[in-house]
Amino acid sequence: MPAFETLEPAIDPNNRVSFLLDWEVTLKCNLDCTYCPSPAELYGGHDNSIPHPPVAECLQTIDFMYEYVDLYMAKKPRRLREVVLNVYGGESLHHPDIIEILEQVHARHVPYQDRWNLTVTTTTNAILSPRKFKQILPLIDEFTVSYHTENTPKQKQQFKDNLLAIKEYGRRMKCIVLMHTQPDLFADAEAMIAWLTANDIKHLPRHLDDPTGNTWNYDTKQIKWFNNLYQSRTHGSADAIPNTGDVNLSDTGRACCGGRQVCQDQNYKERKFYVIDNKFTDWSCSVNWFFLYVKQIGGNMYFNKDCRMNLDGTQDPIGNLSDTDSVLNTLREQLDTATMPVIQCKKYTCFCGLCTPKAKTRELYDKIITKYQEDYTK
């Protein structure tokens, strides 16, 4: 278990705490990375055998997500009424109707624009033709692009060209560089980091992990590289990863997926970039106040795409797109009566949701959560 008892997002004007709507629009992808989980797994990756969902169904989902998040926004302080819609897949930008979908993402927010701010982002591999990419650029506020070392030389050049197009267009962007364990591919990732640095593109190296249980072990030299990285990005004292070689970083610690720094034990002066021992079994967690994960294919929805914890202590969906009225009515009842239960984590390891407020005990949770929720009732 962690040496600390509470974890919260650090105060950062450039990375404000927001509510993330993770919308998995399609399962089709134009890449086939070895570290992408099998589609048969609970946390499965892409599946090119499943057709893209119809655009009409996608537009209905937008309406539901906005109605859902609006209920939470009404209970948050004005400074926290920030929503990020992440449109991804698979590779969402390859959906044949993605232009219309993104246009409607903006249009259908208009009735809510005075109540909460919307940032439209996409998590993409950026392997797309220049013509289509040019059409998409005006419809995305911020890009999260992922660099995959297993790409072909042609795809890597296309990746660079599209990142430069994003920069030229003036859109915000960060690049997630997936650090492969194979020495030659790790070196390839380092070369990409050098290129990103030279072109002044914000980037975040990330170790490979797999919620299905597969391990990606890093050697002594690679662990030293990660330790140097985390030392350089921490405001305060960075906790070092034990460097014994052959280390599975997923079971050792975690950095926030979005690069946010966090504070431990309400020490807001010292901010951590990397959290050693990301294991919060039986902790009280507020992940439902900051996330919603919707799978367009199949319709299941969860609070968070990686932990999938429910309010009843199980890893089950909170509902399905086939019955959104039930999901909304349940949430209204919980919020209106101030009886919203608190998630008690049953996971062994936290992969996502690390930056949401959480505490070892309910008493500590009640103490730290009041700044994130208005009229919080224990």
CA dist 274 and 277 (Å) reads 10
Burial class (CB in 10 A: 0-12, 13-18, 19+), 180: buried
Q: What is the pTM of this model?
A: 0.92
SS3 content of the chain, % helix, strand, coil (to 5): 35, 20, 45
Helix (H) or strand (E) holding 101: helix 98-107
| 41-63 residue pLDDT tens | 555 578 888 999 999 999 999 99
Whose CA is closest to 359, among 6, 4, 8?
Answer: 6
CA dist 321 and 327 (Å) reads 9
Please give the angle made by the CA atoms of 225, 231 and 235, to the nearest 5 degrees: 155
Round the average pLDDT of the chain to a whole number and report it: 90
- Which one is predicted more confidently, 266 or 45? 266
% of the chain residues with pLDDT over 70: 94
Report residue 54 as tokens. 């119809």
Task: DSSP letter for 96, please.
Answer: T
- Strands 82-88 and 19-24 turn out to be parallel
| 15-40 residue pLDDT tens | 778 999 999 999 999 888 888 876 54
- Indicate if the alpha-carbon torsion angle 67, 289, 16, 356 is positive or negative: negative
Tally the C-alpha atoms within 13 A of residue 111's C-alpha that lie toward its C-beta.
7
Mean pLDDT of 197-226: 85
Report residue 342 as tokens. 């608190």
CA of 50: how far to CAs of 24, 54, 89, 99, in Å?
13, 12, 12, 20
Identify the band that residue 72 occupies on the pLDDT scale cut at 50, 70 and 90.
very high
Say if residues 264 and 272 touch (Cβ distance below 8 Å).
yes
Task: DSSP letter for 209, please.
Answer: -
Identify the band that residue 232 occupies on the pLDDT scale cut at 50, 70 and 90.
confident
Whose CA is closest to 66, among 11, 24, 104, 9?
Answer: 104
The distance between the two most distant Cα atoms of the chain, rounded to a whole number of Å, is 57
Residue 183 phi, psi (nearest 5): -55, -40
Report residue 244 as tokens. 């014994």
Beta bridge partners of 138: none
- Which one is predicted more confidently, 301 or 340? 301
Whose CA is closest to 72, among 331, 365, 303, 358?
Answer: 331
| 271-297 residue pLDDT tens | 888 888 899 999 999 999 999 999 999
CA dist 88 and 91 (Å) reads 6
A 10 A CB-CB count for 22 gives 22
| 154-201 residue pLDDT tens | 999 999 999 999 999 999 999 999 999 999 999 999 999 999 999 999
CA dist 274 and 355 (Å) reads 11
Residue 18 phi, psi (nearest 5): -140, 175
